[in-house]
Structure formats: structure tokens, C-alpha cells
Amino acid sequence: MSAAHGPRPPRGFASDNASGIHPEALDAIAAVNDGHADSYGEDATTASMAECFREHLGPAARAFPVFNGTGANVGAITALTRPHHAVICAAGAHLDVDECGAPERIAGVKLLTVATPDGKLTPKRLDDGIDWHRVGDEHASQPRVLSISNSTELGTVYNAAEVAALAGFAHERDLLLHVDGARICNAAAALDTSLAAVTTDAGVDVLSFGGTKNGLLGAEAVVFLREGIGEDFAFVRKQTTQLASKMRFISAQLEALLSDDLWRRSASHANEMARALGGAVDGIEGIKLAQPVEANGVFLELPPEQVKALEFTETGERAFHVWDARRSIVRLMCSWDTTAEDVEAFAERLGTTIDK
Amino acid sequence: MSAAHGPRPPRGFASDNASGIHPEALDAIAAVNDGHADSYGEDATTASMAECFREHLGPAARAFPVFNGTGANVGAITALTRPHHAVICAAGAHLDVDECGAPERIAGVKLLTVATPDGKLTPKRLDDGIDWHRVGDEHASQPRVLSISNSTELGTVYNAAEVAALAGFAHERDLLLHVDGARICNAAAALDTSLAAVTTDAGVDVLSFGGTKNGLLGAEAVVFLREGIGEDFAFVRKQTTQLASKMRFISAQLEALLSDDLWRRSASHANEMARALGGAVDGIEGIKLAQPVEANGVFLELPPEQVKALEFTETGERAFHVWDARRSIVRLMCSWDTTAEDVEAFAERLGTTIDK
Amino acid sequence: MSAAHGPRPPRGFASDNASGIHPEALDAIAAVNDGHADSYGEDATTASMAECFREHLGPAARAFPVFNGTGANVGAITALTRPHHAVICAAGAHLDVDECGAPERIAGVKLLTVATPDGKLTPKRLDDGIDWHRVGDEHASQPRVLSISNSTELGTVYNAAEVAALAGFAHERDLLLHVDGARICNAAAALDTSLAAVTTDAGVDVLSFGGTKNGLLGAEAVVFLREGIGEDFAFVRKQTTQLASKMRFISAQLEALLSDDLWRRSASHANEMARALGGAVDGIEGIKLAQPVEANGVFLELPPEQVKALEFTETGERAFHVWDARRSIVRLMCSWDTTAEDVEAFAERLGTTIDK
Amino acid sequence: MSAAHGPRPPRGFASDNASGIHPEALDAIAAVNDGHADSYGEDATTASMAECFREHLGPAARAFPVFNGTGANVGAITALTRPHHAVICAAGAHLDVDECGAPERIAGVKLLTVATPDGKLTPKRLDDGIDWHRVGDEHASQPRVLSISNSTELGTVYNAAEVAALAGFAHERDLLLHVDGARICNAAAALDTSLAAVTTDAGVDVLSFGGTKNGLLGAEAVVFLREGIGEDFAFVRKQTTQLASKMRFISAQLEALLSDDLWRRSASHANEMARALGGAVDGIEGIKLAQPVEANGVFLELPPEQVKALEFTETGERAFHVWDARRSIVRLMCSWDTTAEDVEAFAERLGTTIDK
């Protein structure tokens, strides 16, 4: 990362994947770029990365690096299902609305969605939102996986007890619990717990572990958290196009993230910036937080003219993502490299334009 | 890459993807790691990378970065076909034997293979090897794509005239010509031509452009070389899990490879090392080149006891890949970082063990 | 069909596919069972069946016999889409809830559903229920087909003007209009129009024409109603396992249905029986029609104890289908062989048990 | 079937599915066309059909009626595999060359083919023809099913010992043995054994039982022959579009075929006619049997001018199927309704045209 001469212009909040590579992650890539290594994961870096995951997520954890979140989610779902199965998720889950139908096309499954106000499923909402009478009926896709996102697409967080309640609900019905953890680090950091506390220890079966949104170049992992599931995943990963040849460079990133608390440092910082941003704008007249700020995202109901006025920063970077055009809700994501100055600059612009 | 103190031990020839990242590619990644950039390809680096491809492959070229070769091949095939189509390729093509059935599963197509002695299809072999009477018969998958690898999986190279002959053959039958160009740089370098000469100018419709085996961390591209095909590829790429969020880091690698002749410098070097290796071992008694050395691969018939004796280098690295256990043929791949010392060391070990 | 000695016991209303084969359809099968005929549709019966469809649905109509409704719907959708497309339908549509996820698995598409009180989509409901901002966004499945059922799964009917309004809505957005016509005969009969009036003439692009529920042994057809769509359907039908070898026996059934007004006679009778049934029970205290009776189905809100008491007829046949266990709604379907005595018998049983 | 007035003109040998419905099968359909029956297989006829299969194929046999052979084969394969699996079959197997790629598209698997001179696989041919070194290699589709056709597409027959040898070979390698039994009745009749002798008792795991080519209107069954496989087949059948609503009419046909030895009477007759046909033409100069006549098919090498001269019967029916245009081989199939007069008429025409 180049050192700035003088204060740099403020950055936007379009997405946590608009940010770059954390220096420690880039260093980790360079550090393993020494000579030859067996490809496709038969290298020493991948072995030590896998060990890292076992330390964080328990001795049964088997981590498989993949390229991106879609690959992790689709691979995990494919490993757990047959095509006549259904995957239950919250309406608006990334899996449902932002994968261009990849789960249906690749795994062949149907998604069954349940409406929520805050992106979070509960046993009650699942009881009401799914027609459980169809279990065993050959005309209906059969629920097999319950998939939740933590933190959610609306910036909310499931705590360990909430996850455990869903795991119990799922296992009673012979479902497996999958966590789309594109932002699992933000969730664990927000709760000030270990990664295991909201996953393995809470009864999660499979985790899509996200690294890219938390400072990596591009690295995620499908992690099976207990024995007896995902046993053919090596083949699933290859056949779903997610097997990296020079895997050491993916593994090195993941290992860096799990080392020296980089995952927590980066995620906590992003969360803190989001809290600061939420706090800074909450008092402004005409502005309403559309969701509580629990992780690294801030959802604002903003008058349409403000949306238009503020959409781009002074350097032309996208300032936020228009989340719901009809309800005029925008999403601002903080990341490992968001600064207090970025937050202040946005709050100031917002205050100024609103005051007009 | 760490500087070696004293001479480093010789490297193996297991695969060109056992090598690391070329310093210029790693520098290119670091160079764009500055602040924020719009994700999913809406960034300036991706725009200039696309321009680079147009300069190399013609003004109609539309390049879409993807993660790996499987993703490139499967995406390209998916974009060009409907599931009742067939893709014709050489028996032993990577597409057929090394993608774990991804083309069938993802695109839904059937592969029709044609036997070759050297990995190369010709109009004559296609005439004889495919039952063209089935065209129009609803019981049979309908040929729609002809896919060749250049350089081939056997280290041989199609020259521009040979590619043009296949393009003519394909287009006469309403087929599209796809090139699996995981090693297209090695082919063009071997022929001492431009990249366009063996692709766009020779009538190729779609190219899987390979960067990873030629010194990148992990970057390939699907490149449509003329108008009117692949128009929905943005959706295909996303749905087949190959859309990178922080795309600038993929694009930067590809741009680096296409800049300052890096693609040719690296590929020519690898080719030259292969030629040297082939030459060094060709005279040894009991050793036979199983294929002519035309690009960066050397295929040797080696007595089984030699296979066993030489399989690993002194540092435990895999020395070669056992290509055909039954015929005792091994494959040695040279890469951008292979040195004359590596070649000599192998030839010497070979000579020594054979002499015994 | 065996002649009954004395009055037969009353029949149930579980489904219109619990009824048998209309004698005219069975005779038609026997009539073409004479010697050999070319298989897979190259026979004279299939040719004259196709002509029959052109007479009913216009000169551009191309009819492809298939085995069942799932096959017709999935085949039609597959012919019209690429896997990154979405199909819009009413929540609760057969396509969505009763095909065990076949559209997703076979065509690869996503279904986008819109809530309705009566099973009927309208331009307004489509405007509100679909996020049209996602059109062009590579992260979202792209709407390509609008699919409606006529008559609907709730026994309601779209008239020609309503269909035409949806066709206009669809075509403006570059969508195609598909009609799941498992009960299209009931719809046309209810409206007292021709089959073309509610399909071809109203702008429908593709029709799943249903015969099985209207007195056939097992015969449906995918009918493309205008040029330029479904051009590869012969291959789609074969690859989706729906090509009959002895097709003459499927075609003969369809031809019989379209001859001598059999389609209308059978459907009108079923509709009339449903009206009679609705009328007979409507006045009974505690009973409420859950939907207007517009075709051959009657939906009743029935006290749970009645559901239990009446679920089977005296001969052990299922009397009705429990449509919505939570809201205690049952569905009664009339068919070509329902008699006034069957209707009276049910109404009487209902009255008696309710009176208790 | 209408009675002919005077001798009818001779029939052709294009395919055994050019023949019509055996009168006993048509009677069986009419016999169950009495009143209502629960749909989707919950009827008494389906129950007794299933019992019939248990009597013929052993107490563990679970038979699922489907519409056609493609549906049976694809359903069986889907039930036994995951998409990264491979199915091994003979080159030229119906599964490979006549399903328009349905196994690949629907089950997602790859087919691995082994060349044979006579359509029959053997342990030796499998040992040589498959690269067993790829087992466990994530880059290659993993063999999971061995599929053979009995009788084969070339009219040859596996006897019980040959099937048992393949079952042993398969089970040693953790493969399942599937039999495409579109003509299993012809095989068992030719061997003069029970159906079980060449299936269940020989170690077959799953059978696609064919009825259509042996005199039914259209009825096949997927039959799982032992416990622990195909447990989710009810869902697979539905999702692959092969669940019949009025199933009693499919089941009645199958039951009729398995009753009173109809299967054997019809198949033996067809086999006998083929033997007669083979015998009648074998001596004619210039004519060569391309395969031994073991079931109901006769393969002839015929001079191209004869192919042209004889392609249609005097009534315009197709006389045979051109099996291999390049080698000038034609196929003649006999069926339950082939007569000695049909055979004589063809032999006479052949003799006459050849003599010219």
C-alpha cells in the first residue's frame, strides 16, 4: 500500500469488498512465494492453514480453501444435499438474491425463504414460515439444510444462544445448519467471542468462512465442523470449479487472517467504525437507522434527494450502496481500512446536505 | 521472492503450476492495492486490462477474468452451448479427463472425443472420429463446439495454419471453435507469433486465456474474440461461481502478463528450458521422447525402476508427473523459473541412474 | 369400463386425476393399435394430431406430446430459458410447490413468486411483487418467463382480457408468457370461448396443454404458439426424458380430446358439477367457500372435525384433498365422470355431519 | 387390434417399438378403467404390480413404474450417483449414444466407455479400458456404476455367469451394477431362464425393466433389487418428471406382462422370428451377419445398393434401421407381432434383389 503524502481524500462505504488487501495478508502471499510447491493443496502452507482452522474451530474442522463466497456457499450446499432437497434461508439472504441462482443451478435444490424484519431466522419464524406438512411428500422439495448468515445481510448478529437454538431446531428435524460466514469475523468480534463460540460450539455443521471482505485479496473456505459430512467435498470443489492450482497463495492469506488475531483486529475495527458512523448520523433530522448497528454495516433511511446528492464521494468513489430503492434505504459498509476521518467526512456531508 | 544464499537446490518439473508468482505480477498486485476500488470489475484496473486484451487480440475481444482454468473452460462452454449440445475434443484433453466432469455437470453437455497420437485434432481425424450422421437426430447430442488445447496436453503445438484449418472445418458445420489456452502463451512463443496470430486471426471464436501456469498467482480469462457470442457471459460467470469481488487484483495480474512482453519472456524461457531438457536426455540409452518437444513439456518413456528412483528431488519436491503408469511415461514441465541448473541436475541424475 | 349392476356407490373428489379414461379416448388408443407405425412421432397419428392443434390454436402452433404435466412445464421452461433466467409465477403455483423442484434442477432457473389471494397474477401484483431494479444486475437471476396457470390451482379462471393484459406486461419487459394449462380446457369451457381465445389470441407464447386431468390415460403437449421460440424443443424433449417411443398412442388421445368437442364436453361437465357442489354446500352453516367456484374445483373452509369425519367415502376412496391443514381448507375436484349423485351424496354427508 | 380381411401386407423390422400394444396389455388397461383410483401410485393396481415384481425378482425388489426407457435409465443412474461420479458402459450403449446426453445433463455424471466388438463388457475389457489409477484423484470423475444392456444394443446376450462375473468385478471396486433391461425379457427368454436368474440372482443391483418394446403401450420400471439403495427414488422420479398421475394404467400393463408368462411368450416369439430371419438370409451370397443372432435383433452387412433398394416395405413402412452407414450395416428387430410371413417376405425380397 503506498504511503500517502498529506491527508488522503475520504473513502466511501460502498462495500467491505471495495477495500484492498491488508498489508499482513499481502506479506503472507509474498512470504510463501519461494520456489516450488505442490499444486492443488498438497503444499505445506495449506497443511498449516488447515491446522490453524482446527485450532480455531475444533479438532474435527476440515477447511477447504475456495476462491469466493459464491463458491463457498454453493459448494457447501452441494456437499450437503441431493437435488430434491430444499435449503431454508431468510428472504433476502445473499444465497437467495445475490448468487444469480447458482444454488439452484449447481446444486439443483430449491430455496425456501422465510420473511424476517432484521435478516434473522428464529425457531418461531421457521415454524410459521415453512409448510412442514410437505415433509415426506414426493411432490415437494424436502428441507435438508437451514442456512443463516452471520452477521446478516442487514448488519445484525446472531449470538451464540440464538445460533444454538437454530441448531437444535434444525437437528430435531434432520436438517443440517450452514452458516454463510462471509462476515463471521465481524459477528464473533461484535460478540467478543471466539470463532468457535458462534459456530462449532453452537452446533453449526458447516461454515462458509469469509476472508475477502475482511482484508484478504480473495480467499474463503468451506469448513466442515464435524465428522460424517462433506466426505466427498474434494470432488465437489473440483467439479464446481473452485479448486485452486497454486493453492498455497490462498492458504497463506487464510492463515495470516487466523494468526496474531488479524481476523479480530480487522473486524473489530470495522465494527467500531460502523458504530461510530451510526452514532454520528443517528441524531441528524430526517435520518433514520433502518436496522440496529451490530456489526460493520449501517442501514439508513435517507430522503431520495440525499441519496442522489451523496451517492459519490468527492473522488468519484461510490459512497454507499442503494439497498432498497423503493424504501430509499442505503447501506454503508465499514472495513479494516475505514478511518475515523472517513466517518466524520460522511457525517459532515450528510449533515450539510440535510441542513440545506 | 527470497534471495538465495549460495546456490539453491535444483527444482522439480512436476507442473508449471508448482512454480510461484513472477515478481512483476506480484508487484502489479501490490501496485493496485491503494485505497478503494469498485468491486466485481467496475474498477479502473479491469478496464485497462480489457483494453490490453483488445490490443493483443483485436478490437472485438471481450475479456472476462476468472479464477482458474476449470472456470474458464466451463464458463466458455456454458456460454456457447445448450445442454443438448456436444463439445468435440481430443481424447485426453484436459476438458475431458481433468475437470472431474465439470463440463457435463455445469453446462450439461456431452463431450465427444477423438483419438490422436499427439493431442492434436485435424479435419481428417474429426471426419473419421465423429459420427456426423447423427446431426439433426434428436436422440444424439448435437455438436456445437470444437475445443482444442494449444499448446496441447502432450506438449505439442498447433501452428496458425492448423488452427485456421480447424476453424474452417468448424464453421462449415456451424460449430464454434474454442481454444483451451491454459498454455496459449507457450504456443505463441514457440511459434514466435503474436497471440492474435494463433487465435483471433486464425478464426478462433473463444479463448480460455491462461495466466496461472505462466507466472501469475491465479488469473485466467474467458475472451470472446468476435461479436455475437457470449452476450450473456456476465451472468454465466456469476452463476458458475467465477465472479471475483476484488477483481482489480486478478485484472492487475493479467495486465502485467500482457505488458512489456512478460507473457512471451516467461513462456519462451520455459519453452527453451524444455528444449534443453529434451536435448539433454534424448541421447541417454534407454530413454525415449514420447512426444516431440514443442512447448514447455517433455514426455519421456522411462524404465519403471527409473520412475521410482527419480520421482522426488533431493529436497523432496516431486520431480515429474507420472503421465501414463501403464506405458511408463512421465511428464516434465518447465516454467518461467526453471533454470539451466535445474535441467542439468535432472539430466545428470537420469544419466547416473540409467548408467547403473 | 365395466357396466355397474345397480347404482354404484358415490365417488370422491380427491383430484381430477383420480378419474379414469374417457371411453372415447380409450377407443382412440385401440383404433390406432393396428400394425406397425414409425416410432418417436414419425407416424400418421402424430401428424394428424399436430394438425388438430393448428386448427384449434392457429397455424403457427407446434404441438409436442409429452407424458405428464411436470414434463410439459419443465420442458416448456427449459426451451424458453437459460439457467441464469428467472421464471415468475404466483406463490403456490404448481410449478413452484408441486414439482419437487424440477424446474430448478432441470432448467437450472430460479422461480420468483408473487403472493395472490386467488392464484391470479395481475400487472399490479407483478409491479409490486418483483424487484425490477435487478434487471441487468449480474448478481440476480433475470426474469425471462411469466408463467400463469389457467384455470388456477385455486379453481379461479383468467379471462381473455386478463391474459392479454399479462401478455402485454410480459412482452413490454421482454418476457415470454407461458400458461400451465393442465386445466386449460376447464378455463375455456368456463368462459365459453375457444381454446385459442384464452391462449394464442390473447398473446400467450407457450402452452402446457393438459389432457390427463380431462379424461385421458396420460397425455399432455407443449405447444409453441408462435414462430421463433422453442426451435430446439425436439432435443429438449428427448434430453428431459419426455420422448415417447410409441407416440401414436399419446397422439391418439390428444386428437380424440380435440375432436367432436370432447375437450369441451368433458370440461364443461366437470365445471357444472363443481358449480352444483359449490351451490349445494354454500348455504350450510359453518361452511365457507374459500374461493369462488369458476372452474372444476371447490375450496371449502371446513371445521377440522368435519375434515376428519368426511375424509374418506364409504368405499374408502379419498373424498377430498386437504389443501391447507393450518387453515382447515379442503379442495374438491370434479371431473368428466362426476355425477349429480356424487355431488348430492357429498352435500348430504356434509349437511348431516355438520348438523350433528 | 383390427382383424385383417385377407392376408395383410408384410411388416417391417425397423424397431420393436414400431409394433403396437399386445391385446392382453390393452385389455389390462381397460380392466382397471373402472371408477376412481388414488393417483401417483397409491392405487391397488400399483400395489399388486409391485407384488408381481417381488415374485419375479425376489422379496427385496422395489419397482417404480416410469414412462419410458430414458426415464428409467436416467432415474436409476441419478438414484445411484452423485454428479462427480462416472458411469461405465460399453461404447455404443444406448445410455451413451441414444439419450441425447440425458445422463450427463440430469444426473450430472460422466460416462466412461469401453470398446467392445459385440456390445458386451467383460472384466478383462474393463481392466484394460478404464484408467483405474484415477480412482481417488479429485480431477477425475469417480466410477460408481457399471451399466450393461441385456440383451445388448447389438442383439447379443449376457448369460447369468457373465452377469455374475461383472457383478463381482463391480462390487470389488465399490461399484453398483445397473442393467439397462429395455430388452431384459428377450435376454431371459433367449437363455430360457427366469428374470431373476440374470438379474437379482446374478448380483445386479438395479434394473431398468423394459415393457414397451415387448408389447406394452408405454411402461417401464426402475427396480431396486436389494436393500439400501435408491431410498430416495420417489423424489428422484418426481423431480426427473417421470411420476405418472394415473399410474394404475402403467402398472396394469406391467402386471399384465408379468402375468401368465406374457413377457416370455412375447419375447420368445420375437427371438424365434429373429433366429428364423437370420437363418433365412445367412446363406445368401453377399450377405453377412454382423453379429450372432442371440435375441430379437438381426444385424446384416448389406451392400449399399441393397440398403437403398430394401429400405421400405411395399406399404411404405421402414423395413430396417441403418445402423452404421459407413460400414453398411442394417439392423432388423423382431417383435411380439412379427410373423413367419414377414420373415419370409423380407428374405425373399433380399434374395431377389441380391440375385440381380
Q: Give per-residue pLDDT as tens, D273-308.
A: 999 999 999 888 889 999 999 999 999 999 999 999
- Does A237 contact chain D (CB < 8 Å)? yes
User: What's residue B5's pLDDT?
Assistant: 56
Instruction: Sheet with A297-301: list strands edge to edge.
Output: A288-289, A297-301, A329-333, A321-324
pLDDT digits (tens, 9 = 90+) for D232-283: 999 999 999 999 999 999 999 999 999 999 999 999 999 999 999 999 998 8
Does residue A278 surpass a pLDDT of 70?
Answer: yes
Q: Work out how many CB contacts closer than 8 A connect C with D.
A: 170
For residue A140, being part of any structural domain is answered with yes
H runs (alpha helix) in B2-130:
23-31, 44-57, 69-80, 94-97, 102, 123-129
Write the CA distances from A324 to A118, A151, A353, D39, integer angstroms.
14, 19, 21, 45
User: Do residues A326 and A208 both lie within one domain?
Assistant: no
User: Do residues A238 and A270 both lie within one domain?
Assistant: no
User: What's residue D5's pLDDT?
Assistant: 56
For residue C7, being part of any structural domain is answered with no
User: Do residues C183 and C269 both lie within one domain?
Assistant: no
User: What's residue D31's pLDDT?
Assistant: 98
For residue B36, being part of any structural domain is answered with yes
User: What's residue A315's pLDDT?
Assistant: 86
What residues of chain A lie within 8 A of the CB of B218, using their CB?
Answer: 67, 244-246, 249-250
- Does B135 contact chain C (CB < 8 Å)? no
Q: Say how many domains are in chain D.
A: 2
Distance of alpha carbon A21 from alpha carbon A336, whole angstroms? 9
- Does D108 contact chain C (CB < 8 Å)? no
User: Do residues A237 and A162 both lie within one domain?
Assistant: yes
pLDDT digits (tens, 9 = 90+) for C285-301: 889 999 999 999 999 99
pLDDT digits (tens, 9 = 90+) for B19-54: 999 999 999 999 999 999 999 999 999 999 999 999
CA angle B28/B33/B34 to nearest 5° reads 125
A212, A241, A243 member nearest B245 (Cβ) = A212
pLDDT category, A285, cuts 50, 70, 90? Answer: confident
For residue A128, being part of any structural domain is answered with yes
pLDDT digits (tens, 9 = 90+) for D2-43: 444 567 889 999 999 999 999 999 999 999 999 999 999 999
* Cβ pair A215, A267 in contact under 8 A: no
Does residue D220 surpass a pLDDT of 90?
Answer: yes
CA angle A247/A248/A252 to nearest 5° reads 120
Q: What is the average per-residue pLDDT within A77-98?
A: 98
How close A152 comes to chain C (CA, Å)? 18
The DSSP element (H or E) to which A186 belongs, if any, is helix A184-191
- Does B116 contact chain A (CB < 8 Å)? no
How close C105 comes to chain A (CA, Å)? 4
Range of the domain at B157: 23-258
Neighbours of chain D (3+ CB pairs under 8 A): A, B, C
Helix (H, G, I), strand (E, B) or coil at A311: coil
Distance of alpha carbon C163 from alpha carbon C198, whole angstroms? 7
pLDDT category, C354, cuts 50, 70, 90? Answer: low
A121-124: long-range contacts, CB 8 A cutoff, minimum separation 24: A121/A88, A121/A89, A121/A90, A121/A146, A121/A148, A121/A166, A122/A162, A122/A165, A122/A166, A123/A165, A123/A166, A123/A168, A123/A169
For residue B7, being part of any structural domain is answered with no
Q: What is the average per-residue pLDDT within C79-100?
A: 98
For residue D266, being part of any structural domain is answered with yes
Any bridge partners for residue A333, and if so which?
A297
- The rounded Cα B8 to chain-centroid distance in angstroms is 28
Q: Is B193 left (phi over 0), alpha (psi -120 to 50) or beta?
A: beta
Whether D241 sits inside 8 A of C242 (CB atoms) is yes
Averaged pLDDT score across all residues of chain C = 95
* Cβ pair B258, B45 in contact under 8 A: no
User: Do residues A252 and A276 both lie within one domain?
Assistant: no
User: Do residues A58 and A156 both lie within one domain?
Assistant: yes
Helix%, strand%, coil% for chain A, nearest 5 = 40, 15, 45
Q: What is the CATH number of the domain that holds D344?
A: 3.90.1150.10
Residue B356 has which C-alpha cell? 547403473
User: What's residue D6's pLDDT?
Assistant: 64
- Does A101 contact chain B (CB < 8 Å)? yes
Burial letters A186-218, b for 16+ CB under 10 A, else e:
bbbbbbebebbbbbbbbbbbbbbbbbbbbbbbb
Nearest CA in chain D to A82: D82
| A162/C8: higher pLDDT | A162
> Among the three residues D226, D257, D288, which one is the final residue of a domain in this structure?
D257
User: Do residues C51 and C190 both lie within one domain?
Assistant: yes
For residue A13, being part of any structural domain is answered with no
Strands B142-149 and B176-181: parallel
Nearest CA in chain C to A133: C325
> Among the three residues A257, A275, A303, which one is the final residue of a domain in this structure?
A257
B101, B109, B325 member nearest D101 (Cβ) = B109
| B328/C314: higher pLDDT | B328
Neighbours of chain B (3+ CB pairs under 8 A): A, C, D
- Does D173 contact chain C (CB < 8 Å)? no
Does residue D353 surpass a pLDDT of 80?
Answer: no
Q: What are phi and psi of B323, to 5 degrees?
A: -80, -45
Whether D105 sits inside 8 A of B104 (CB atoms) is yes
User: What's residue C55's pLDDT?
Assistant: 98
Does residue C25 surpass a pLDDT of 60?
Answer: yes
Whether A246 sits inside 8 A of B212 (CB atoms) is yes
Distance of alpha carbon B179 from alpha carbon B149, whole angstroms? 6
pLDDT category, B58, cuts 50, 70, 90? Answer: very high
Whether A139 sits inside 8 A of C83 (CB atoms) is no
How close D153 comes to chain A (CA, Å)? 31
A309 CB contacts (<8 Å, ≥6 apart)? A353
Does residue B336 surpass a pLDDT of 70?
Answer: yes
What residues of chain C lie within 8 A of the CB of A325, using their CB?
Answer: 133
User: What's residue B355's pLDDT?
Assistant: 55
- Does C241 contact chain D (CB < 8 Å)? yes
User: Do residues A181 and A316 both lie within one domain?
Assistant: no
User: Do residues B169 and B274 both lie within one domain?
Assistant: no
Give contacts of A 308-347 with B, CB under 8 A. 317-318, 337
B316 CB contacts (<8 Å, ≥6 apart)? none
Whether C109 sits inside 8 A of A109 (CB atoms) is no
What residues of chain A lie within 8 A of the CB of C109, using their CB?
Answer: 101, 104-105
User: Do residues B241 and B270 both lie within one domain?
Assistant: no
pLDDT category, D356, cuts 50, 70, 90? Answer: very low
> Which residue shows C-alpha cell 515429474?
B320
Query: Which residue, among C39, C66, C82, would best test binding to B if mutated, counting the most B CBs under 10 Å from its CB?
Result: C82
D141 CB contacts (<8 Å, ≥6 apart)? B100, B101, D84, D85, D86, D109, D110, D112
Nearest CA in chain B to D140: B100
User: Do residues D111 and D236 both lie within one domain?
Assistant: yes
What residues of chain D lie within 8 A of the CB of A83, using their CB?
Answer: 239
Label residue A328 exposed, middle or buried (CB < 10 Å: 0-12, 13-18, 19+): middle
What residues of chain B lie within 8 A of the CB of D84, using their CB?
Answer: 100-101, 105
C83, C139, C238 member nearest B139 (Cβ) = C238
Whether D141 sits inside 8 A of B100 (CB atoms) is yes
> Which residue shows C-alpha cell 441414444?
D98
For residue A206, being part of any structural domain is answered with yes
User: Do residues C188 and C228 both lie within one domain?
Assistant: yes
- Does A153 contact chain C (CB < 8 Å)? no
Does residue A354 surpass a pLDDT of 80?
Answer: no
Q: What is the CATH number of the domain that holds A155?
A: 3.40.640.10
User: What's residue A353's pLDDT?
Assistant: 77
Q: What is the average per-residue pLDDT within D217-231?
A: 97
ipTM: 0.96
Whether B238 sits inside 8 A of A102 (CB atoms) is yes
Residue A160 has which C-alpha cell? 451464540
Peptide bond into A151 cis (omega under 30): yes
Whether A139 sits inside 8 A of C98 (CB atoms) is yes
Provide the angle, in degrees to the nearest 10, between the axes of the packed helices B248-258 and B262-282.
70
Of D262, D38, D290, D286, the closest CA to residue D153 belongs to D290
- Does D104 contact chain B (CB < 8 Å)? yes
> Among the three residues D257, D291, D313, which one is the final residue of a domain in this structure?
D257
What residues of chain D lie within 8 A of the CB of A40, using their CB?
Answer: 138-139
Label residue D2 exposed, middle or buried (CB < 10 Å: 0-12, 13-18, 19+): exposed
Residue C283 has which C-alpha cell? 348455504
pLDDT category, B356, cuts 50, 70, 90? Answer: very low
- Does B83 contact chain C (CB < 8 Å)? yes
pTM above 0.95, yes or no: yes
C246 CB contacts (<8 Å, ≥6 apart)? C37, C39, D17, D20, D21, D212, D217, D218
Give contacts of B 16-75 with A, CB under 8 A. 17-21, 26, 29-30, 32-39, 67-71, 74-75
pLDDT digits (tens, 9 = 90+) for A200-246: 999 999 999 999 999 999 999 999 999 999 999 999 999 999 999 99
